[in-house]
A and B are shown apart, each in its own frame.
Chain A
Amino acid sequence: MHQNILRFSNRRYLFVAVGVLLLSVVLYLSQAGGAQPPNGGTWQGYVLGTIGALLIVWLSLLGVRKRRYSSSLGTVQGWTSAHVYLGAALLVVATLHCAAQFGWNVHTLAYVLMAGVILSGFYGIYVYLHYPGRIAGNRLNQPRQAWLNELADVDEEALSAAADCGADVQSMVASAIELSRYGGGFFAQLSGKDYSMVHLPQAEGGGKPLPNVEQQEVIKRLAKRIPRSNKRSEAAALDELLTLFSRRQTILRLLRNDIRMQGLVKVWLFFHVPLTVALLAALLVHILSVFIYW
């Protein structure tokens, strides 16, 4: 019922890609014994180059097909499956086309850009196949929004529980909530590192905010206070706060993980797509220059 992109339609496009590869290898080998060594300039080289260029153009059309929502030209999954297999084949086709002749020129630039696109694509396949399950497992059958809502509820409960405690606890709780961090900038999202802080009152030795990784700073301080509290009502409130902060710890960790993995699933496209645009430009220059300097 559900098939991943590699298994799509009994790996139909794997066989297409293998066919393209076999054809390319045969073409390459047929250069043996010719007037010149295998290179892009023989007729076989031109044919291989044409196959490669057409593949590149077709592969980049996935971006258009994906957004043609009424299109009846196959499904996007089918296109993606073919994109993966033919994209992988392209690496071999292009290598055979240039016969591994590299230099410091626009031709090699095009090759390098293409290799970058394909390698980022390989990473993409890896994350597409492995991360969705992990992301779902991490979310424990709830959408991210449900966790955000629960965090907001827990925060509210914590603030009201803190209202039964001293001013120092109140200010610590308020600041811990305010300085809790998940997500953030590019690297913060992808590293999943906890940049949460807490600003303690002067009496607690505060001044500058302290790191509050995994809410541990607050948990530690709450745990320290509970046995030492004089009033029973305050002890109860502190107990509740401790429970709430360990819940916050869980939710915040889950959210950071969620953001990190969701980020990893998306981040490769920030390389894959711009590199593709650059590749198309370099490819154009490569083809034009080849014809101009024929």
Chain B
Amino acid sequence: MDKRFHIAVIGSGPAGLSAAGRAAQYDQETAQSEPTHVLLEGFNTHAKTIFRYQKGKHVMAEPGFLTLRSPMQFEAGKREQILDSWAESLQALNINIAYNSEVARISGEKGDFRIALQNGSEVLAENVVLAIGFQGNPRRLGVEGDAESDFVMYQLDDPEEFKSETIVVVGAGDAAIENALGLSAHNLVYIVNRKAEFSRAKEGNLNAVLAAINDKKKSFYCKYETTVAGLELPAQAGATGAIILNTPEGEERIECHRIIARLGAIPPRSFVESCGVEFPNEKPDAIPDLDRHYESNVPGLYIIGALGGYPLIKQAMNQGHDVVEFIRGNEIKPADYPLLQKQFRLLPYAMDAEDVLDLYQKRVPMFRRMNALSFRELIIESNIMISLDGADYDEAARERDAALSEEGGKLTKLIKAGEYIYRDGEYSNSFYTLVEGTASVQLARGSEPQDLKAGQFFGEMSLISGRPRSGDAIAGSDCILIETPRRIMVKLMNSNDDVREGIDRVFIMRALQSAFSPSMSSEELGQLAAEVELKTFKAGELLYEQGSEGGYLDLIRSGTVVLVQQSHGTELVLSQLQSGDLVGQMALMGTPVRQDSAKAAVRVETIRLNKDQFLRLVGGEPQIIDSLQDSASALLTQSRAMASYPEGGRAINFLMGEGLGEATNALIIDEDLCVGCDNCEKACAETHAGISRLNRASGASYAGIHVPVSCRHCEHPHCMKDCPADAIHRSSGGEVFIDQSCIGCGNCETNCPYDVIKLSYEAPKKPGLLSWLFFGAGFGPGEPNNFEPDPQAKEKGKKAVKCDACMDQPAGPACVRACPTGAAVRLGPDQFGELVAGR
């Protein structure tokens, strides 16, 4: 084979097929006698990865907003249909595919690449398109005994093979979910998710797996926030072994017949590097740097599909199509180009949207090393905001209004220069990145505003702590911001270490800044921020123990910590501390022996400083030490005050046990005042379409404090995890509410640990108060508890209902305002001390 091809495509997955298909189309159009392209496939079939999918697997066509651009057909459907349609296209387009041609080495340069195959032959090509996917070696469990065996499997060909077994599926991606669901028809299945949510799963899988977990009749269980600690291999073939899991509740052993680990795969990086392609860092999941033509640092060598960082089929196929156009010198726009254009429309650039995208990525250090395509996705999911003044604003506003009726995509957001982006105390949790101009941001409540410049970001405090904004942010004139929703940012931080580390670093710097206000330079502070340790504690874990000697203090990043003291056989609660508070500073200022234990009331994240780092931070500055000593003294006084009312401390312990450590706004009833009239429930129902969102009588009580079953608007709302319709939001006032787009899937009901969400039909309309009062018409306020939904309501189906803290009621929470005896109040954790004082 010494013929030189114009394009050699390596790998016949969706990307490679599409690229080869497009090249074949050109060959047909130009009536070539010999193909100018070749498609090299290492196996004896095309689309090996999809071929290996389970029989009958439903293949999805995410992302939905994107249109397909490829000579090959593709729409959501069964694995077999998709493979068949591609086989037909291979024939119809006359694609020059060479099976069993595994590539061993690529050498040469643009115009003259030499592709050496494992079978010894060589292919010559002017351009090479690498579409070899991500399916190198599967990622292993990383514990002893994790070699592939009958007990530990990294691939599941046919779920029907196994019946009446206990099977543990490890992983939370689409493959793990699909395997687990496939197996659950005939087996008892556990799915082990190292995170608290299925953030990487496609929408359809997400719905299906949550439905299975919710289904009480199904033997399908999920272990969240769980990692694999060890394996017990079966003694002989056919016997059961076990898996040891590290769960938030402690270690757990599950006896099982087999383990299916679907932890993704490590890219065939060494092969790609041997072709001369450079990777940005040493991380195992790093992806090569590509320009927007998908060309790598080796001219003429293009990388598309999963290896380029985009694992979705449709995106990969579009890239396959586009890369051939680029190679042929056609400057076409990607399929999502119109969405970008619309987002950038009101910006004062003459530049093309693609160039704006490039520019923005280069502007922000944290995003610079991100894959260009992931950055593209980030921008498409975010809002672009521009601040303008005077006539410019008015003109842009007119343009915006004119564009309101256009469908699809988001238009640039406008803000007047000098206006608040957010205010102190607001509960918004979007993340802002400045790409042009300045914004004046208070990094801590009451601190001097700082002018942030292009490339810097803000809003990370609320993103991480779940607490309200501390300090204001004001738009400068002509500044341009990327406003990224929390959901997208969380996903990005989970999948991109650079971004997570970048945000963490700045978070730490600013947290240290606001906690200690040191006078060190920002370089020194940055240095320190890189050194300190980030710690995570599960509910109930100790940050440190009484009596131990401590050489560190913790600055709380999120969650609530209680200080408890064992004294003469009883446990006294001394204090409860929230994000932004210091824990354990006494050990660095007074005696090193801990006088109390610090216990995480909910999941807690902290920044840990050792003595050396602490001293560098406060380094001989008397006023900082003074103020730290003052606040330490205040804490001690407050602790003793609480310890002197042991019952109060026990009441705090009770509140923490009820999960109120993560509350921001909880309904608390004083049992010494509550006469049980249920006017709170009636008020709730009457102000919320006839359905009460609180249940006064149920819920726990202690020392006259009653915590009714009602939403407490958590710092990091559990209900917001895994809402497929993205219908749950947090208002700027902190109220967590469900909007009209709820599809009634019940995920939030399942995810809420406090049982405060229920699914309900719409309640029937009621007569006016006076006609009920005087003429007995229909049901009165708050009646009846169990209504019969009318047929229209049944047609609409059940939807999730929960407390919205009466965000639409001008007068405030109806439950509290309707209480005739003053028993009902709404509180945040910072008021618990006052609540229990003197009890």
Contacts and interface: CB of A to CB of B under 8 A. Distances in A.
Interface of A: 1-5, 8, 63-64, 66-72, 75-77, 79-80, 127-128, 131-133, 135-136, 139, 141-145, 262, 265-266
Contact of B811 (A5, A72, A80, A128): A72
B660 interface: no
The 4 nearest A-B residue pairs measured at CB: A136-B671, A72-B811, A2-B670, A133-B672
Interface in B54-86: none
A75 B824 CA distance: 12
A140 to B, nearest CB: 9
9 contacts: A2-B672, A2-B835, A4-B822, A66-B820, A69-B687, A76-B819, A132-B673, A136-B706, A143-B699
A262 B676 CA distance: 8
Contact of B676 (A3, A63, A64, A265): A265
Contacts of B706: 136
Contacts of B822: 2-5, 8, 77
A70 B820 contact: no
B477 interface: no
Contact of B674 (A8, A68, A69, A132): A132
Contacts of A132: 671-676, 821, 823
A76 B811 contact: no
A251 to B, nearest CB: 17
Contact of A2 (B810, B811, B823): B823
Interface stretch (B315-323, B678-686, B752-760): B678-686
A75 B702 contact: no
B528 interface: no
Nearest to B809: A70
Nearest to A142: B701
Interface in B698-712: 698-702, 704, 706
B31 to A, nearest CB: 76
A97 to B, nearest CB: 29
B200 interface: no
Given A69-B686, A69-B781, A265-B676, A133 B704 contact: yes
A237 B821 CA distance: 49
A79 B818 CA distance: 10
B698 A145 contact: yes
B683 A69 contact: yes
Contacts of B672: 2, 132-133, 136
Contacts of B682: 67, 69
A262 B781 CA distance: 21
Interface residues of B, number: 41
A8 B822 CA distance: 8
Contacts of A2: 670, 672-673, 822-823, 825, 835
B697 A145 contact: yes
Nearest to B806: A70
Interface string B796-839: 00000000000001110010111111110101000100110000
Question: From DSSP, what is the main secondary structure of chain A's interface residues?
Answer: helix
Given A2-B822, A128-B821, A70 B814 contact: yes
Contacts of A75: 816-819
B239 interface: no
A209 to B, nearest CB: 33
B634 to A, nearest CB: 21
Given A135-B676, A139-B701, A262-B676, A80 B825 contact: no
B769 interface: yes
Contacts of A71: 811, 817
B825 A1 contact: yes
A128 B706 CA distance: 17
Interface string B762-776: 000000010001000
A186 B818 CA distance: 28
Question: From DSSP, what is the main secondary structure of chain B's interface residues?
Answer: mixed
B701 A5 contact: no
A265 B811 contact: no
Contacts of A67: 682, 686, 769, 773, 780-781
Given A68-B769, A76-B818, A136 B704 contact: yes
Contact of B701 (A69, A76, A141, A266): A141
Given A142-B701, A265-B675, A5 B821 contact: yes
A262 to B, nearest CB: 6
Contacts of A265: 675-676
Contacts of B671: 132-133, 135-136
Nearest to B675: A265
Given A1-B834, A142-B701, A143-B698, A131 B675 contact: yes
Given A135-B671, A143-B701, 4 more contacts: A69-B687, A77-B821, A132-B672, A133-B671
A144 B697 contact: yes
Contacts of A135: 671, 676
Contact of A77 (B700, B701, B769, B820): B820
Contact of A66 (B670, B679, B827): B679
Contacts of A266: 675
A69 B818 contact: yes
Contacts of B823: 2, 132
B702 A128 contact: no
Contacts of B702: 141
Nearest to B703: A141
B231 to A, nearest CB: 41
A123 to B, nearest CB: 13
Contact of B814 (A3, A69, A145): A69
B821 A64 contact: no
Contacts of A79: 820
B819 A77 contact: yes
Nearest to A70: B687
B650 to A, nearest CB: 12
Contacts of A3: 822
Contacts of B670: 2
B677 to A, nearest CB: 8
A141 B700 contact: yes
A135 to B, nearest CB: 7
A13 to B, nearest CB: 13
A7 B815 CA distance: 20
A266 B820 CA distance: 13
Which one of B670, B814, B834 has the greatest number of beta carbons of chain A within 10 Å? B670
B686 to A, nearest CB: 4
A262 B810 CA distance: 33
Given A2-B673, A4-B673, A136-B672, A76 B820 contact: yes
B61 to A, nearest CB: 46
Contacts of A8: 822
Which one of B673, B811, B814, B825 has the greatest number of beta carbons of chain A within 10 Å? B673
Contacts of B687: 69-70
Given A5-B820, A5-B822, A76 B810 contact: no
Contacts of A80: 820-821
Nearest to A74: B817
A143 B674 CA distance: 13
B194 to A, nearest CB: 36
Interface in B622-679: 670-676, 679
Contacts of A69: 682-683, 686-687, 781, 814, 818
B210 to A, nearest CB: 29
A126 to B, nearest CB: 12
Contacts of B819: 75-77
A128 B679 CA distance: 15
A94 to B, nearest CB: 24
A145 B708 CA distance: 13
A75 B809 CA distance: 13
Contacts of B704: 133, 136
B699 A1 contact: no
Interface in B555-595: none
B485 to A, nearest CB: 32
B823 to A, nearest CB: 7
A1 B809 contact: no
A34 B824 CA distance: 52
A64 B769 contact: yes
